[in-house]
């Protein structure tokens, strides 16, 4: 039924899964950092964070992907020339991860910023007054509560990141979209192979939602949690 394309499809599935996982982890990190910067007491830092989120929410993802992909390599080449070191070639996978993290880190930023805003400021102040370091206050007081408030919105962001991996095929990554499109054109079975790609993305989303549901139950243990 797959006309001999099963090994290639399995390879595409693994590449897409790795791309989605790396992009989720990096965009989550960017989102947490961005949320903290938005809460900074320095006006210039807040303005830079606001510009970053506004840019990414106002410009189509495809346009940003093309801009970041092509200009990132130029920037790396320029820095290598300044440092007089050998040029570093950025492959499509790395460029895809960085681009997706740059785009969706903005949405993660707003999600975590809202979660941080829902935490009473007195709790952090109480922690500092007992002699805890700012890092300890964040890790032991702020972060667990931020997770509780952020997970519903974070779940939506994860689904969008997974679906956005399909865009990376335009910059040359041989992922599940690229492979199924090639297989569909070669066999004249585009509809079937499009269904295969859709099924793969649906499976990824279901796995992600199941994992987030487990995390949601854990962080809301002892409280009235929010159903995803």
Which domains, and CATH codes, for the chain? 6-219 (1.10.3720.10)
> pLDDT of 32-57, one tens digit each?
999 989 988 889 999 999 999 998 88
Q: Percent of the chain scored above 90 by pLDDT?
A: 33
> pLDDT of 185-212, one tens digit each?
888 888 999 999 999 999 999 999 999 8
pTM for this predicted structure? 0.85
> Which helix (H) or strand (E) element contains residue 101?
helix 92-117
CA–CA dist 26, 17 (Å, integer): 14
- Where does the pLDDT of residue 1 fall: very low under 50, low under 70, confident under 90, or very high at 90 and above? low
> pLDDT of 171-190, one tens digit each?
878 889 999 998 888 888 88
CA triple 209-215-220, angle to 5 deg = 125
pLDDT at 59: 84
pLDDT at 67: 80
Maximum average pLDDT range among 9-13, 68-72, 146-150: 9-13
Please give the torsion angle defined by the CA atoms of residues 126, 130, 131 and 137, in that order, rounded to the nearest 10 degrees. -40
Quote the mean pLDDT of the chain: 85
pLDDT exceeds cutoff 60 at 225: no
CA triple 61-64-68, angle to 5 deg = 140
- Cβ of 183: how many Cβ atoms within 10 Å? 23
CA–CA dist 80, 96 (Å, integer): 21
pLDDT at 224: 60
Q: What are the two backbone dihedrals, phi and then psi, of residue 202, each rounded to the nearest 5 degrees? A: -65, -40
pLDDT at 200: 93
């Amino acid at each position: 039924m797959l006309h001999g394309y099963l090994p290639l499809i399995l390879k595409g599935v693994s590449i897409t899964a790795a791309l989605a996982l790396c992009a989720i982890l990096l965009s989550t990190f960017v989102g947490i950092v961005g949320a903290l910067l938005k809460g900074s007491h320095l006006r210039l830092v807040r303005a830079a964070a606001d510009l970053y989120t506004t840019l990414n929410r106002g410009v189509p993802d495809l346009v940003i992907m093309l801009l970041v992909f092509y200009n990132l390599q130029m920037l790396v080449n320029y820095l290598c020339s300044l440092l007089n070191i050998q040029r570093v070639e950025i492959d499509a996978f790395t460029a895809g991860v960085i681009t997706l993290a740059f785009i969706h880190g903005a949405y993660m930023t707003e999600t975590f910023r809202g979660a941080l805003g829902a935490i009473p400021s007195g709790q952090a102040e109480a922690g500092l007054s007992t002699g805890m370091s700012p890092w300890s206050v964040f890790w032991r007081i702020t972060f667990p509560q931020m997770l509780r408030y952020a997970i519903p919105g974070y779940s939506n962001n994860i689904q969008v990141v997974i679906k956005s991996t399909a865009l990376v095929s335009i910059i040359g990554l041989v992922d599940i979209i690229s492979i199924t499109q090639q297989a569909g054109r070669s066999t004249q079975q585009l509809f079937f192979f499009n269904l295969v790609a859709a099924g793969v993305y649906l499976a990824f989303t279901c796995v992600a939602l199941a994992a987030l549901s487990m995390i949601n139950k854990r962080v809301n243990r002892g409280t009235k949690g929010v159903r995803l």
